[in-house]
């Protein structure tokens, strides 16, 4: 029997519950006398409600109440002690508190009934009249009004200029300047946003919510409803995808809790697919990249400007230009980031927020420069390889990007690429090869965990984190099982419960590093207690040994130098007369870590086949070579990269939320019209994990994978399409009309 699990391919421990239906999601929990709420949303983008007529709805048998701004309790002023974990600067929208319309599809009423069908029918009978106002939902119409957000709102801040990029660009023998556009995209997780609030007999609320942060939702509800934390418990043991949309509490959780509070009974509110398009989104972005280079390909100037969109009431920012300032060796760099206000709801983080957008522009520009220089795109990047973080002037904790380029190029047979577009064919199909670089922060943030070992050898480890499909359950189970030396089947990891030890929202690829480090610390605390107990045994085999002298394996504490010297975990606990041994711990970044630049890197290579007559594009192969430190579970890690690549294919070729500017409303708000990749779109995807040892980045040596998988995919595909057709497309998605 072995108890070594870290780095070993391991099937998801939550897999059986999901495939058998045992796993319950937010809108599947039962409660006695459960009522159902259906949301009525705004038909205009800006203005004021002049009248809400709910009389017809209230006459429908089974309707309990129609909640509007006219009859709900006024919320107390914002609680200064509560700060939403990922909320941008501004005034967060608070539903049903006034008659002002701020964006189309804004929730205006909640119809609550005994049955969902009744609530939905009654909602159609609510009549709302408006005093309309002119709205603005088009970026270009107000781009001249773009403003610079305060630096502290953007994390990390926009790097300061270095050198004189404008002067260096003017003097550069080779110049490449172009504009790039990316549309609004919506997250569209399979599980719709929903909340079941169970009204307990003592007036407490048990809230089952679709969220990436149960403690964040708990704080949000307490701050709005005036409850203490011991009166609201939030649970989300299973989440059917979120991709950043669940980082902030969405309006349905407040409406459900408000209805339960007002009616003093349990309430469920679930959004429709169409209503999901009224939530946050990846913001539309305009970018301009200017590169200057010497004839040998050495970069002499980089200028990257970006303008993103935000709402009228919050300043949502992204790290769109930060990577440009650090990725390549260049002495003269200026990056600039601005916002424009539109009459839309506030955007929200979407997989690889900002970086996926910024890298598209930068990496397409690098490809365009390679064409002008008649240089191989890989050679151009290697020629400008940065050994240190160019923005911070700090060394990297580790950087194996060089090997990503080499191994990725070998796997896709890059040497067969022809630099002249339209040179590689297969009958009527034009074949193109393109590549791009990926980079994403490898963060660790404060987190806590608890370890509980029972006398019968069962181990329970817990933290109030989430698992949105990334494999958190499994990876944390592996870490705990190996550190404590117990079989993985004897380990249970608990998450998604606001009553558990503190954890951040699950996002930005920091969960494995942050919560994993806390789990490691809790287990090490437990190990220390067990070693001390084992040494109290008369004539203990471990007498005189220090913590570094022993190992935990196969339910035993053993001497590293003499395996015959061992004490079982059961014996150690019996020595302390313990039925349960508990250990709590927290983990945070150290000053040493903060002296280094910590990033995951990748090199993405793509092959496309383009029909010369029809302009249709088939992604025949993608190779993603990723350097992300220690890979805790190759099985779930590969799935993370596969998912990111598929997301990148959608970003490049299909996804676009279309705004009807007349109404200020997204019009393709269904899977029939908002296109995402399906099985027929996906062909060969190769994932290479490049060996990378990093003892600085965090105690586990692991880097995030959720974001790095998508970064660089869209630009690699755009570059491949150019190589196939000679058509340079700078505005996503790349549709056949643009190719033709």
Give pLDDT tens digits for 604-622.
Answer: 999 999 999 999 999 999 9
User: Mean of the pLDDT values across residues 499-522?
Assistant: 97
Whether residue 612 lies in the annotated active site = no
User: Mean of the pLDDT values across residues 448-456?
Assistant: 97
Give the model's confidence band at 152: pLDDT under 50 very low, under 70 low, under 90 confident, else very high.
low
Q: Could you give the CA distance from residue 667 to residue 88 in angstroms, rounded to a whole number?
A: 27
Q: Could you give the CA distance from residue 573 to residue 456 in angstroms, rounded to a whole number?
A: 10
The share of the chain scoring above pLDDT 70, in percent, equals 99
Query: Is a pLDDT exceeding 80 seen at residue 79?
Result: no
Contacts of residue 452, defined as CB under 8 A and 6 or more positions apart, other chains included, come to: 459, 460, 461, 462, 580, 581, 582, 583
Contacts of residue 393, defined as CB under 8 A and 6 or more positions apart, other chains included, come to: none
Query: Is a pLDDT exceeding 80 seen at residue 297?
Result: yes
Q: Which residues, listed in sequence order, are joined to residue 662 by a DSSP beta bridge? A: none
Q: Could you give the CA distance from residue 642 to residue 538 in angstroms, rounded to a whole number?
A: 54
Listing from the earlier edge strand, what are the strands of the sheet with 333-341? Answer: 174-182, 285-293, 299-310, 333-341
Alpha-carbon distances, residue 477 vs 3, 18, 480, 704 (angstroms): 12, 17, 5, 17
Other C-beta atoms closer than 10 Å to the C-beta of 491 total 23
Query: Is a pLDDT exceeding 70 seen at residue 631?
Result: yes
DSSP state of 263: H
User: Mean of the pLDDT values across residues 364-384?
Assistant: 98
Q: Could you give the CA distance from residue 314 to residue 152 in angstroms, rounded to a whole number?
A: 14
Among residues 314, 655, 692, 707, which one is catalytic?
Answer: 707
Q: Where are the alpha helices (DSSP H) in 374-469?
A: 377-383, 401-412
DSSP state of 513: H
Which structure tokens are listed for 417? Answer: 């690429």
Helix axes 355-373, 713-725, angle to 10 degrees: 30
Q: What are φ and ψ of residue 267, in 5° steps?
A: -140, 140
DSSP state of 692: -
Please, are residues 472 and 511 in contact by the beta-carbon 8 Å criterion?
A: yes
Q: What are φ and ψ of residue 248, in 5° steps?
A: -100, 150
Give pLDDT tens digits for 479-494: 999 999 999 999 999 9
Q: Can you list the domains of the chain with their CATH numbers?
A: 31-133+187-276 (3.90.1170.50), 145-185+281-443+594-739 (3.30.365.10), 445-588 (3.30.365.10)
Which structure tokens are listed for 604? Answer: 């993405």
Query: Is a pLDDT exceeding 90 seen at residue 3?
Result: no
Which structure tokens are listed for 409? Answer: 């190029």
Q: Could you give the CA distance from residue 31 to residue 106 in angstroms, rounded to a whole number?
A: 28
Q: What is the pLDDT of residue 730?
A: 98
Q: Could you give the CA distance from residue 393 to residue 592 in angstroms, rounded to a whole number?
A: 15
Q: What is the distance between the terminal CA atoms of the chain, rounded to a whole angstrom?
A: 61
Please, are residues 406 and 607 in contact by the beta-carbon 8 Å criterion?
A: no
Alpha-carbon distances, residue 736 vs 498, 552, 717, 721 (angstroms): 48, 59, 14, 11
State whether residue 495 is helix, strand or coil: coil
Query: Is a pLDDT exceeding 70 seen at residue 1?
Result: no
Give the model's confidence band at 83: pLDDT under 50 very low, under 70 low, under 90 confident, else very high.
confident
Q: Which residues, listed in sequence order, are joined to residue 604 by a DSSP beta bridge? A: 436, 624
User: Mean of the pLDDT values across residues 219-233?
Assistant: 95
State whether residue 36 is helix, strand or coil: strand
Give pLDDT tens digits for 550-563: 999 999 999 999 98
Three-point CA angle 672, 675, 677, nearest 5°: 125
Give the model's confidence band at 78: pLDDT under 50 very low, under 70 low, under 90 confident, else very high.
confident
State whether residue 614 is helix, strand or coil: coil
575 membership: H or E segment, kind and range: helix 569-575
Q: What is the pLDDT of residue 77?
A: 81
Other C-beta atoms closer than 10 Å to the C-beta of 52 total 19
Please, are residues 466 and 506 in contact by the beta-carbon 8 Å criterion?
A: yes
User: Mean of the pLDDT values across residues 630-646?
Assistant: 98
Contacts of residue 46, defined as CB under 8 A and 6 or more positions apart, other chains included, come to: 101, 102, 103, 132, 133, 134, 135, 343, 664
Q: Could you give the CA distance from residue 142 to residue 147 in angstroms, rounded to a whole number?
A: 10
User: Mean of the pLDDT values across residues 394-403?
Assistant: 98
Give pLDDT tens digits for 318-327: 999 999 999 9
User: b vs e for 281-294, b when ≥16 Cβ sit within 10 Å of the residue's Cβ?
Assistant: bbbbbbbbbbbbbe
Q: What are φ and ψ of residue 38, in 5° steps?
A: -125, 130
* Helix and strand element counts for the chain (H, E): 17, 32
Q: Is 144 exposed, middle or buried (0-12, 13-18, 19+ CB in 10 A)?
A: exposed
738 membership: H or E segment, kind and range: helix 736-739
């Amino acid at each position: 029997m072995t108890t070594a699990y870290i780095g070993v391919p391991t099937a998801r421990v939550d897999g059986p519950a999901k495939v058998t239906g045992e796993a319950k999601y937010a809108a599947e929990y039962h409660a006695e006398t459960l009522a159902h709420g259906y949301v009525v949303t705004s038909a205009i983008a800006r203005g004021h409600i002049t009248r809400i007529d709910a009389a017809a709805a209230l006459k429908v048998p089974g309707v309990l109440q129609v909640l509007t701004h006219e009859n709900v309790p006024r919320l107390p002023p914002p609680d200064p002690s509560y700060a939403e974990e990922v909320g941008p600067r501004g005034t967060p929208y608070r539903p049903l508190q006034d008659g002002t319309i701020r964006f189309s599809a804004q929730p205006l009423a909640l119809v609550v009934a005994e049955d969902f069908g009744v609530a939905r029918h009654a909602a159609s009978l609510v009549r709302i009249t408006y005093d309309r106002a002119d709205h603005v939902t088009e970026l270009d119409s107000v781009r001249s009004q773009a403003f610079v957000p305060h630096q502290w709102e953007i994390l990390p801040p926009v790097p300061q200029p270095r050198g004189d990029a404008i002067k260096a660009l003017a003097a550069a023998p080779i110049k490449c300047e172009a504009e790039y556009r990316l549309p609004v995209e919506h997250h569209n997780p399979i599980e719709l946003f929903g909340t079941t609030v169970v009204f307990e007999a003592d007036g407490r609320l048990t809230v089952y919510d679709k969220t990436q942060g149960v403690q964040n939702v708990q704080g949000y509800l307490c701050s709005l409803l005036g409850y203490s934390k011991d009166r609201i418990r939030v649970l989300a043991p299973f989440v059917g995808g979120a991709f950043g949309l669940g980082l902030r509490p969405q309006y349905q959780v407040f409406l459900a809790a408000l209805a339960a509070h007002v009616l003093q009974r349990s309430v469920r509110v679930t959004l429709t697919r169409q209503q999901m398009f009224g939530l946050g989104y990846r913001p539309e972005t305009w970018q301009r990249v200017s590169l200057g280079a010497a004839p040998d390909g050495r970069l002499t100037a980089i200028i990257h400007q970006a303008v993103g969109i935000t709402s009228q009431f919050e300043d949502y920012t992204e790290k769109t230009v930060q990577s440009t300032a650090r990725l390549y060796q260049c002495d003269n760099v200026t990056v600039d980031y601005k916002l424009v206000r539109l009459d839309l709801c506030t955007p929200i983080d979407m997989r690889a927020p900002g970086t996926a957008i910024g890298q598209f522009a930068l990496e397409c520009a690098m490809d365009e420069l390679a064409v002008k220089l008649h240089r191989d795109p890989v050679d151009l990047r290697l020629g400008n390889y940065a050994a240190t973080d160019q923005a911070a002037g700090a060394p990297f904790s580790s950087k194996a990007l060089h090997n990503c380029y080499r191994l990725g190029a070998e796997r896709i047979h890059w040497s067969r690429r022809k630099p002249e577009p339209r040179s590689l064919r297969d009958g009527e199909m034009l074949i193109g090869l393109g590549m791009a670089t990926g980079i994403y922060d490898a963060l660790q943030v404060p987190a806590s965990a608890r370890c509980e070992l029972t006398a019968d050898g069962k181990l329970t480890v817990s933290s109030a984190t989430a698992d949105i499909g990334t494999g958190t359950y499994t990876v944390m189970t592996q870490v705990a099982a190996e550190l404590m030396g117990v079989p993985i089947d004897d380990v249970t990891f608990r998450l998604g419960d606001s009553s558990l030890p503190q954890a951040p929202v699950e996002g930005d690829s920091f969960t494995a590093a942050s919560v994993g480090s806390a789990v490691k610390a809790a287990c090490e605390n437990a190990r220390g207690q067990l070693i001390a107990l084992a040494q109290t045994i008369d004539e203990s085999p471990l007498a005189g040994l220090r913590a570094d002298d022993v190992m935990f394996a196969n339910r035993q504490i053993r001497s590293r130098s003499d395996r015959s010297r061992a004490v079982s975990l059961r014996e150690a606990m019996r020595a302390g007369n313990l039925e349960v041994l508990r250990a709590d711990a927290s983990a945070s970044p150290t000053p040493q870590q903060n002296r280094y630049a910590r990033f995951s890197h990748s090199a993405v290579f793509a092959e496309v086949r383009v029909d010369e007559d029809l302009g249709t594009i088939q992604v025949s192969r993608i190779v993603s070579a990723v350097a992300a430190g220690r890979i805790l579970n190759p099985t779930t890690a590969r799935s993370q990269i596969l998912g990111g690549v598929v997301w990148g294919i959608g970003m490049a070729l299909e996804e676009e939320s279309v705004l009807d500017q007349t109404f200020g409303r997204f019009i393709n708000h269904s899977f029939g019209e908002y296109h995402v990749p399906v099985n027929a779109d996906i062909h060969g995807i190769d994932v290479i994990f490049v060996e990378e040892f990093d003892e600085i980045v965090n105690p586990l040596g692991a880097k995030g994978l959720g974001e790095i998988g998508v970064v660089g995919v869209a630009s690699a595909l755009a570059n491949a399409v150019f190589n196939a057709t000679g058509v340079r497309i700078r505005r996503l998605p790349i549709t056949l009309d643009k190719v033709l």
